[in-house]
Amino acid sequence: MAKRNFSFAILLFFFFFLFFFLFSFSLATNVSYDHRSLIIDGQRKLLLSASIHYPRSVPGMWPGLIKTAKEGGIDVIETYVFWNGHELSPGNYYFGGRYNLVKFVKIVQQAGMHLILRIGPFVAAEWNFGGVPVWLHYVPGTVFRTDNEPFKHHMQNFTTYIVNMMKREKFFASQGGPIILAQIENEYGDIERIYGDGGKPYAMWAAKMAVAQDIGVPWIMCQQYDAPDPVINTCNSFYCDQFTPNSPNKPKFWTENWPGWFKTFGSRDPHRPPEDVAFAVARFFQKGGSLNNYYMYHGGTNFGRTSGGPFITTSYDYDAPIDEYGIARLPKWGHLKQLHEAIKLCEHPMLHGEPTLLSLGSLQEADVYTDSSGGCAAFISNMDEENEKTVYFQNVSYHLPPWSVSILPDCKNVAFNTAKVGHQTSIMEMVPEYLQASMTSPDKESKAPKWGVYVEKAGIWGEADFVKNGFVDHINTTKDTTDYLWYTTSFYVNENEEILSNRNQATLVISSKGHALHAFVNQKLQGSASGNGLNSTFDFESPILLKAGKNEISLLSMTVGLQNAGPFYEWVGAGLTSVKVKGLKNGTVDLSSNAWTYKIGLEGEHLKIYQANGLNSVKWQSTSEPPKNQPLTWYKVRHFFWLRRYSWTLIM
């Protein structure tokens, strides 16, 4: 009896295993491509994709963001994988909180959407150090993104780690999951030649390494003009209608369509009108495109110290269809939703017929798609930026506004024109909560916020980290553990120096590789200086009043996000290059080769006063108004804001 039961158990296990295998196989999705489009389970697909980066929003926002994207006509969610957010030190991985990649992919899957996983692992993305861990720069012999063994070793290890994680979760479409495309490297084609003999071999190695991962779905390389088969090269730009893949066997993909732009400190808010975004998308599909991805569809927020640049702001709103707070930006979101609906009506003839180009004027043309079943779709464009035109197509007149595309899903009736915005417009206003409360409460003063103030010491706090003649590079010293590095030195002024007269002042002259600086003399702030998003280097010059005897110069060097792109970007440094005092009786004193005392970070950082458990470790001064003209001050306040939406509809 026991033997019979054992045999029955084995048989039952076999049938269960067979059932599970067949069930899993039935869920698997075959993803391939031809010259026209991605092919999913034998069907050509026209795809609309949205970039939403999981670390740039909090997990509680993810379901709402994906739902809003789907309601906007989006089929696919796209995200980078952020190497430096996951591998905190060699082999030490983190996938919690905002970096819970598995949770994010599951939410996409539960929404019934596809996913494009841009593993990179270099991402650029206006992200600190381009997404590559800072520790990798200090692995001996490492040069990023070239035919360099240490870099390739760590890059392959991380890529394989992510691929295996996705395989364990059965996230690839070949396993029944949502991932239909994966990306290796990013925008390397534009700088490949600058790496000389190491450029092309590295790019080819990256492609071969990726394909060998055997994920069962195609790989893509953005802006990689020599991407080898079977890897698909793709376009990133404001306009990609004229892009042509590097092989007639590859489809035309647009992996970064920029509906706005990122913001840098001191610059204006970038804005791209919805009419122009829609025009670019319609022209792309008109000219044979089959996958468009908005970068970004929701930009979100650069939390903590993740902003790259340098000088890229905490906000990564990007003027995207979904704003930084997760709210649909109108009319952009609505205008693009209507565009998507019109394009989807054209899907079958577009993907199963070759276009016929008709010239309708000097800057006007039509592309007509017909399929074997008699389906017909047409795109009529007016590329004149200033003048409207009336054209005749198939014996019918059509009015075309300037810089517009009309979409005719049946080659007769206009379903959508990119220049005609008929969707509701809204403006968000952030209002302090206590002002809202004062509308019903006479006790306005009681609603005012209470500030806590903590003042940093100017110069070396605690025990110095080291003393060195001359300057050290800021980034090589802090290794991105903090944005702050103190440079402090002293020099003596003789009582007989004319500089002691109030009628004459010395001048402090400083040069720096970047990014910003506060200058103190004898504990008093003399001024500040910084570079900008175009040029990190800067010079500082300010009159100073010295005293007889010892004078202390303390310079707080600051980084504002590390370089995130460009050839050999990891070698771009920061910090002081020259410090001089001019105007002394004996001429200019060059302090550059002095003995400088260094301290990494701020005391408030060391005390972790920005954390809940660190706030009690220091004595905060309480005040109803923050102090003015007081440098190096930490502030804390508990305050709430609410969003007020103003909406209207303009029919054109």
Residue in the block written with tokens 């992996």: 255
187 in catalytic set = yes
The answer to whether residues 238 and 294 touch, using CB atoms and an 8 Å cutoff, is no
CA distance 72 to 340: 8
Residues in Cβ contact with 9 at an 8 Å cutoff, skipping those fewer than 6 apart? none
The dihedral built from the CA positions of residue 183, 184, 185 and 188, taken in this order, carries a sign that is: negative
Residue type, 538: F
CA distance 371 to 556: 67
Q: Annotated catalytic residue: which of 78, 87, 187, 347? A: 187
Q: What is the 3-state secondary structure (H, E, C) of 361-400?
A: CCCEEEEEEECCCCCEEEEEEECCCCCCEEEEECCEEEEE
Residue in the block written with tokens 């084609």: 189
Name 540's bridge partners: 510
CA distance 36 to 49: 17
Tokens found for residue 590:
């060059």
The answer to whether residues 160 and 171 touch, using CB atoms and an 8 Å cutoff, is no
Selection from 96, 32, 49, 418 nearest residue 256 by Cα:
49
Long-range contacts at 95-102 (CB < 8 A, ≥ 24 apart): 97/59, 98/54, 98/55, 98/56, 98/57, 98/58, 98/59, 98/303, 99/54, 99/55, 100/54, 100/59, 101/54, 101/162, 101/165, 102/165, 102/169
Burial of 531 (0-12, 13-18, 19+ CB in 10 A): buried
With both helix axes pointing from N to C terminus, report the angle between 199-211 and 149-168 in degrees, rounded to the nearest 10.
20
Taking the alpha carbons at both ends of the chain, their separation in whole angstroms is 83
Residue in the block written with tokens 């570079």: 531
433 in catalytic set = no
Long-range contacts at 263-269 (CB < 8 A, ≥ 24 apart): 263/312, 263/313, 263/315, 263/317, 264/309, 264/311, 264/312, 264/313, 264/532, 264/533, 265/311, 265/312, 265/313, 265/532, 265/533, 265/560, 266/311, 266/532, 266/533, 267/533, 269/319
Instruction: Determine which helix (DSSP H) or strand (DSSP E) holds 115, and give its type and residue range.
Output: strand 114-120
Cα–Cα separations (whole angstroms), residue 472 to 128, 460, 519, 563, 594: 21, 16, 17, 18, 12
Tokens found for residue 239:
């306009």
Q: What is the dihedral of CA 645, 302, 311, 640, to 10 degrees?
A: 50
Tell me how crowded residue 46 is: count the other CB atoms within 10 A of its CB: 21
Residues in Cβ contact with 422 at an 8 Å cutoff, skipping those fewer than 6 apart? 338, 649, 650, 651, 652
Tokens found for residue 210:
């990726």
Cα–Cα separations (whole angstroms), residue 298 to 86, 121, 149: 21, 21, 36
Alpha-carbon 204 to chain mean position: 26
Q: Annotated catalytic residue: which of 126, 256, 324, 603? A: 256
The answer to whether residues 125 and 53 touch, using CB atoms and an 8 Å cutoff, is yes
CA distance 81 to 96: 14
The answer to whether residues 116 and 183 touch, using CB atoms and an 8 Å cutoff, is yes
The residues annotated with a catalytic role in the active site are 187, 256
